[in-house]
Structure 1
Amino acid sequence: MEIATSNIIKSDAGRDSGKLFVVTSTDGEYLWLVDGKSRKVEQPKRKKRKHVAFVAEGTTRLAQKIQHGEHITNSEVRRALAEFREDIQMDQEG
Structure 2
Amino acid sequence: MEPTNEPHIGQIVRVNRGRDSGKYAVIIGVVDQRYVWIADGGKRKFDEPKKKNLIHLELLPAISSEVADSLRETGRVTNGKLRFALTQAVNHLSHDAQEKGE
Give the TM-score of the pair, scaled to structure 2. 0.82
Equivalent position of 2:28 in the other structure: 24
Query: Residues 14-93 of structure 1: matches in 2 within 5 Å?
Result: 14-28=18-32, 29-93=34-98
**Cα separation, 1, equivalents of 2:90 and 2:54:** 22
**Length, aligned pairs only:** 94
Give the TM-score of the pair, scaled to structure 1. 0.88
Instruction: Identify unmatched segments of 5+ residues in structure 2.
Output: none
Instruction: From the superposition, tell whether residues 27 and 70 of structure 1 become closer, same or farther in structure 2 (CA, over 3 Å).
Output: closer
CA contact (8 A) 2:37 2:51 kept: yes
Q: Which of structure 1's runs of 4+ aligned residues deviate more than 4 A? A: none
Give the alignment's Cα RMSD to 1 decimal.
1.5
Equivalent position of 1:11 in the other structure: 15
CA contact (8 A) 2:25 2:39 kept: yes
